Structure 1
């Protein structure tokens, strides 16, 4: 029984470290801007997006550790990826069109 809990925590921590790495990867490339047309508003949109993704990740991680069942890591990770792709594909271009153009 003790081994089952250990495997659960290893899986949860590994999956969440990968998700946190993806957020860090996005943060790095949103900070490094090589284009000559730098805009303060686009930087603010990237910052708000990263804060939202980090807060969503923290809530997901806390819920997975608190519940200690196998469904929250699977469902939480799938929802996190779906919401992240929705924000990156739909949300950022929408906010860019509203605030910058």
Structure 2
């Protein structure tokens, strides 16, 4: 049983490092904005989005480590990616149009 727990830990940590790297990639390109139309609202929206993604990732990671079931890394990762795309592609432009413009 020890070997099975070790393999589970390796899989969970690897998947979550990849997800955290994707959040870091988004954060890097949110900070270094080379567009000539810089405004503070886009920086604020980027900060809120990155905070939301990081909190969502932390809850996902905590559940995966706490529950220790094999379905959670797969389901948690798929749900995290789906919710992230929904937030980034639909939610952020909608709220930007409604509240900022």
User: Normalised by the shorter chain, which TM-score bucket?
Assistant: over 0.9
The count of aligned residue pairs is: 101
Q: What does the per-residue CA deviation read over 1:5-41, in whole Å, with 9 as the maximum and x for residues that have no partner?
A: 0000000000000000000000011111111111101
1:43 maps to which residue?
Answer: 43
Superposition deviation, residue 100 in structure 1: 3.0
Gaps of 5+ in 1: none
SS at match of 2:17: helix
Gaps of 5+ in 2: none
TM-score, reference length from structure 2: 0.96
Rounded to whole Å, the distance in 2 between the matches of 1:33 and 1:97 is 20
TM-score, reference length from structure 1: 0.96
Superposition deviation, residue 55 in structure 1: 0.2
2:76 maps to which residue?
Answer: 76
Q: What does the per-residue CA deviation read over 1:44-79, in whole Å, with 9 as the maximum and x for residues that have no partner?
A: 011000000000000000000000110111111010
Rounded to whole Å, the distance in 1 between the matches of 2:26 and 2:48 is 12
Deviates more, 1:7-16 or 1:27-36: 27-36
Rounded to whole Å, the distance in 1 between the matches of 2:100 and 2:67 is 42
Q: Is the 8 A contact 1:12 1:73 kept in 2?
A: yes
2:95 maps to which residue?
Answer: 95
Map 1:11-50; keep pairs closer than 5 Å.
Answer: 11-50=11-50
